[in-house]
Chains A and B, each alone.
Chain A
């Protein structure tokens, strides 16, 4: 008697439970689908913004390349700032004993040399005549 009663209660609960499951299932699928579409819209908008930023970046890159052209830099350096190419007679080539010349500095008019040649912990000597100064230079 008790078993029959329990069975009918179970049957009574199962039907709405399945109905709820089906309903939630349908709702879930629809919700997922709409979320995906909504996300696709968002991604599409973001892509469009990205393309716009990329377009701006390309414009800026072209402008930068134009502004840094040798012609403009030369004109500004020579005509506006009065700069000249280094006088090669006044260049001092500095190199370590192990490797080729590492940097060049301008000879100071008054006291010989400037630059890092006389830094603490380093000794300096004049290069011997005929010594290869090209090694590893370029």
Chain B
């Protein structure tokens, strides 16, 4: 009995000794190696999902949001029966089984099979229980308004990086955070919460764009494109006192939800990337310069009765003979002869000085990528006939935004504003991080701006070139432009290719909106007053109603309520 007890005790002690030795081996001798191995098995590094901030219009309507989707990947080494799996996956994703098989049979341990799958498709693939595949959460940028404001918003690539427009310019604000978080997981792969947020949310942007106005502009652009069979067209609507862009649109355009299906020319924001010879809208330079320098007054007379003027070997014609015109009538009737006479009085140095002062030849500073400076040559590089070309908007290259900005200086009493499309950057918890506050610079005296504004009003009145731009109830001040395009083949001005434009602001005496309409190569009618001015009128009428701007005679319908 005692012998048995001794044997039993010895066995138990030995057993404990073995266990103790094993524990010492695990916990002391091989601690580091086994600890690292355990950590590797139990922990799982996961990317923090970076959710781009939402882009809102000025009224808080969402223009760009995110959807949480999942992307499918595979570890080819873990895939059993690649042929069968490829066939199954091809039915779910719509990809050819050959492409799937190539991916499933490739080398490495991580291959993307399909990015950003819809939830239904993910569910079906998960139900199929295919070995060696997995899912990674992946956000998809969605533009719920479709192609509206597409060239302003831009788009993102498959990795949600901004590629164009606001998405590119403000990428670092929209997409912040990121990195990796290490999570603990059990034997079956389930993760345990570590109380760490797996999502990093970027800041939101509030644009100056108004969705309704943007849609109205785009609707009218579609109309003018179909009516005039033009090659392209651009409209910008701006608040002349602040530089806020209320709408900016071009045709052709694209859908930012599927940018790959569009051409580069459709994605280009022509309002800031394309230069053109402005034609008569550039007469703002000689007009304001002559008034500012005291060379002319609205009543100063110019003999345009010959209907043409010779500059060296070049002869510049008016559209038709006008006779003797006052300075006001030169602008109202857009006389080339009168404008060149004023330009000759000013001289090339002063023309150049005022052109630069009004922002031509330099970027406007708009917060969008891809803006170009345009071109206005320094006086020493002018040819002998330049004095007959520059005053009427030839030999210069401008963007539609530059022209609009210059007219805004007349509208707001002489200040050159900085156009911008983003008004605020807001943190995810709703705090303002940044608010647009651009400085404007005085470039014209108030008197000059007001005098020229009154002259521009006559352009849309009887005898002016843009009667079709007149809006019922409010005075419109503006200027037409009809510029011949240079034929690349002959290097001469084409006889059938024009850029028709109208730029103006309304109500003329207290402007709420300034707008430019540029139509490239319209077929049939090509005068700015016939092609672009009606577009201005239609958009302005809707915009004034929408903004609840009273008619000029609105005081008759005002009730004052005593409290």
Contact = CB atoms under 8 A, between A and B. Distances in A.
A97 B65 CA distance: 44
B558 interface: yes
B61 interface: yes
Given A61-B62, A93-B558, A44 B145 contact: no
Task: Count chain A CB atoms within 10 A of each CB in B216, B219, B560 and give the residue with the most.
Answer: B560
B65 A88 contact: no
Contacts of A107: 557
B148 A70 contact: yes
A62 B561 contact: no
A59 B139 CA distance: 11
A65 B144 contact: yes
A43 B193 contact: yes
A93 B553 CA distance: 12
Contacts of B211: 69-70
Given A88-B473, A131-B555, A70 B214 contact: yes
Contact of A91 (B61, B190, B192, B557): B557
Contacts of A85: 542, 545-546
A76 interface: no
Interface string B177-204: 0000000100000111111001000000
A133 B68 CA distance: 49
Contacts of B192: 37, 40-41, 44
Contacts of B214: 70
Interface stretch (A3-11, A22-30, A121-129): A121-129
B5 interface: no
B68 A61 contact: no
A58 interface: yes
A127 B545 contact: no
Given A70-B212, A85-B542, A93 B559 contact: yes
A36 to B, nearest CB: 9
Given A62-B65, A69-B145, A127-B555, A93 B561 contact: no
B554 interface: yes
Given A54-B68, A74-B215, A131-B555, A69 B561 contact: no
A74 B214 CA distance: 12
B563 A98 contact: yes
Contacts of A41: 190, 192-193
Contact of A127 (B67, B144, B510, B559): B559
Interface in B138-176: 142, 144-146, 148
A98 B554 CA distance: 19
Contacts of A74: 212, 215, 219
**Which 5 A-B residue pairings sit nearest by Cβ, starting from the closest?**
A65-B144, A70-B215, A43-B193, A127-B558, A40-B192
Given A65-B62, A127-B555, 12 more contacts: A41-B193, A43-B193, A44-B193, A47-B198, A62-B62, A62-B65, A69-B211, A95-B558, A97-B560, A122-B563, A126-B559, A133-B555
11 contacts: A40-B184, A51-B137, A51-B198, A59-B67, A70-B145, A86-B545, A88-B473, A92-B558, A94-B561, A97-B561, A131-B558
Interface of A: 37, 40-41, 43-44, 47, 51, 54-55, 58-59, 61-63, 65-66, 68-71, 74, 85-86, 88-89, 91-98, 101, 104, 107, 113, 117, 122-131, 133-134, 137-138
